Structure formats: C-alpha cells, structure tokens
C-alpha cells in the first residue's frame, strides 16, 4: 500500500484505460432496506456521492409504491435533489405510469428492467417474459420521443433461484430485444450473485454473437457468493467499460430473496486504482460517505475496503 492509503499501481495487459462507474446505491441499495430511509438522508447521500466524483448516480425508481415502499418518495426526492454539474441521474421506470411520473420530475435518463426468465418476470413485473416487452415498448418510444436516454437491464443473467440455470443465449435474446426497442446500453444483472468468471465470458460472448456490441454492454454484479470483483475483471478483459456498483455494498432485490448487496463501489475503485484504470472517484471521500450511511442504517458496511479504511 502507498503512504496515501491507495494500492500500489501495477497495470495488467488487455484492460481498458478508463471505466465508468454506474453507481446504484441510492436505488438498488436503498430499495432493499428494511426501513424507509428519510428523503433528506437520500438527498445528502446523493450529494456526497457526487462530491466523491461519481458521475452517474441512479437516484430512485418510479415503480409501484406499494411494490417498493422504500422508494415511494421518488418524486419528492427528485424535487429536493440538488443536481451536481456534469452528473447523470438515471431512474428506473417499468411502465407508462412510471414514465409519466418520471417526466413530471424532469428526468433525462431512465432505465427499464427486463427479466431473462419467466418466473422472475412474473414475480418482479407481474408480466410474462413476452408481455414485459409490450409494457416496455411504449415507454421506450415515448421516452426517446421526449429526448430521454433509455438504459436496459436484464436480470437473472447468471442463474435464477426458481428456474436454476439460465442459458446465455436466452439472456442474449432478451438483451437484443431491449436494444431493438432503443436502449442505448444493456446492463447484465447477476441478480443473485451466482456467476463466476468463465460464465461471464459465456454471457458476454452470447450477447456479442446476438449482435450487441461490447461497447453497449455494462455489468451489474451482486456479491452474494463473493464473485463480483472477479467477474468484473473478466468483463473488463472482454472490453466492457461500464460497471455498476453500490457505495458500501448496499443492495439487493426485494423480489429475489437470495440477492444481497451489489459489488461495493469502494472494492471496485481499489481494484481499478491498483490496475491504473481511470474512474474519477476519490476513494477516501467515498468510503467516508459509506461509513456515514452505515451509521444512518445502524449496521456496518459489508464492503471489505470500507472496513479496511474505516476500521
């Protein structure tokens, strides 16, 4: 370790020069908390994340408030948000009602979220695998017409707690349909964290074989089995340059019980710093923010790097 508290830099071959960190702590993290975090704490959390240098902050979700009460304050949150210069604040939107609410709140970037499996489409969206697209189609058409950007998530890309194994070709087929609808980026979700690096190669290769360019792919790893960082390195070696992560490792999915927190942003930043890959984040400030949030939530951060830096 260096005297400034950062890792020694030792670049490795075959990796990108820069990575965009797509921070999901305020959405994926807080949607899974047992209690509803006060809106003013969320506003401060987002302000601190922006001050730490994160340039993409997924802020909240315009889903049905009784499905995810933790984010029922989405409109109020965006009303109070002090938008930092140069920071993108995407939000989740499942359907036209959600889009109406997001447009009223002045968003510029939304994310729709599809399932790669039948069972999770039903559990998470109350739709069949096929009918989820009928729900998304007018959302994307109207959002693009209003000048918004639309990201697409695919969940259960590396296994499903009800259906077991999920074929990479099935993931790629769902992803391809999202790109055909008009999504500019596709985030591949390991919702329950069961993937391993070779599996990441297989899913990314299937997406590229289905016609999705690797520059349009992002990865979204939950760290349930401790594989998120290894999986991220595998994805970087395959040319992916956008990585989803959540500050302090907050996270999960209320409709997939075996899902735990996302890859912790601090753990990602430590690895990127060690590899000499640019990302723009100040690790000390970020870890301070996660420690501050952990105090508000009343339990320590699961991030190994936050624990190492903050004791």
As annotated, the active-site residues are: 253
| Cα–Cα distance measured from residue 289 to residue 70, given in angstroms and rounded to the nearest whole number | 20
Nearer to ligand HMG, 242 or 309 (CB): 242
List the single partner that 276 binds among ligand HMG, Mg ion, none, CB under 5 to 8 Å by kind.
none
* Contact between residue 62 and residue 98 where contact means Cβ atoms under 8 Å apart: yes
Nearer to Mg ion, 46 or 309 (CB): 46
Binding to Mg ion in span 15-74, by CB under 5 A: 28
Stretch in the footprint of ligand HMG (CB under 6 A) among 62-70, 196-204, 263-271, 291-299: 62-70
Half-sphere exposure of 210 toward its Cβ, with a 13 Å CA cutoff?
23
Output the smallest distance, CB 124 to Mg ion, in A.
11
Q: Report if residue 26 touches ligand HMG, rule: CB under 6 A.
A: no
Q: Report if residue 68 touches ligand HMG, rule: CB under 6 A.
A: yes
Q: How far is CA 138 from CA 52, 62, 127, 178, in A?
A: 36, 16, 15, 12
Q: Report if residue 118 touches Mg ion, rule: CB under 5 A.
A: no
Q: Report if residue 143 touches ligand HMG, rule: CB under 6 A.
A: no
| Cα–Cα distance measured from residue 92 to residue 72, given in angstroms and rounded to the nearest whole number | 12
Output the smallest distance, CB 203 to ligand HMG, in A.
12
* Contact between residue 121 and residue 128 where contact means Cβ atoms under 8 Å apart: yes
Nearer to Mg ion, 206 or 256 (CB): 256
End-to-end Cα distance, the chain: 16
Residue entry with tokens 């190669």:
201
Q: What DSSP designation does 30 have?
A: G
Q: Report if residue 221 touches ligand HMG, rule: CB under 6 A.
A: no
| Cα–Cα distance measured from residue 157 to residue 137, given in angstroms and rounded to the nearest whole number | 21
List the single partner that 70 binds among Mg ion, ligand HMG, none, CB under 5 to 8 Å by kind.
none
For residue 212, which of 251, 238, 245 has the smallest C-alpha distance? 238
Residues that bind Mg ion (CB under 5 A): 28
Give residues in contact with ligand HMG (CB under 6 A): 28, 31, 61-65, 67-68, 92, 94-95, 97-98, 101, 113, 124-126, 153, 155, 189, 191, 220, 222, 253, 255
């Amino acid at each position: 370790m260096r005297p400034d508290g950062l890792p020694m830099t030792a670049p490795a071959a075959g990796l990108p020069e820069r990575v965009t960190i797509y921070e999901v702590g305020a959405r994926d993290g807080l949607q899974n908390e047992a209690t509803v975090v006060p809106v003013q704490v969320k506003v401060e959390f987002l302000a601190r994340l922006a001050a730490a240098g994160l340039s993409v902050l997924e802020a909240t979700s315009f889903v049905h408030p009784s499905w995810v009460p933790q984010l029922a304050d989405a409109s109020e949150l965006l009303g109070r948000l002090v938008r930092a210069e140069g920071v993108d604040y995407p939000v989740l939107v499942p359907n036209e009602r959600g889009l109406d609410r997001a447009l009223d709140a002045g968003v510029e970037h939304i994310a729709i979220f599809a399932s790669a499996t039948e069972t999770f489409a039903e559990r998470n969206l109350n739709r069949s695998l096929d009918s989820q697209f009928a729900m998304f189609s007018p959302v994307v058409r109207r959002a693009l017409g209003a000048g918004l950007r639309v990201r697409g998530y695919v969940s259960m890309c590396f296994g499903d707690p009800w259906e077991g194994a999920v074929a990479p070709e099935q993931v790629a087929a769902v992803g391809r349909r999202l790109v055909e609808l008009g999504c500019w980026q596709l985030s591949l979700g390991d919702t329950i964290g069961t993937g391993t690096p070779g599996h990441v190669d297989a899913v990314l290769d299937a997406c590229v074989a289905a016609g999705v360019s690797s520059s349009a792919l992002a990865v979204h790893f939950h760290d349930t089995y401790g594989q998120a960082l290894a999986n991220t390195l595998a994805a970087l070696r395959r040319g992916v340059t956008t990585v989803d992560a959540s500050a302090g490792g907050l996270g999960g999915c209320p409709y997939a019980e075996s899902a735990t927190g996302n890859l912790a942003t601090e753990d990602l930043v430590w690895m990127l710093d060690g590899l000499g890959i640019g990302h723009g984040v100040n690790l000390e400030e970020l870890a301070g923010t996660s420690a501050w949030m952990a105090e508000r939530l009343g339990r320590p951060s699961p991030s190994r790097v936050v624990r190492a830096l903050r004791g």
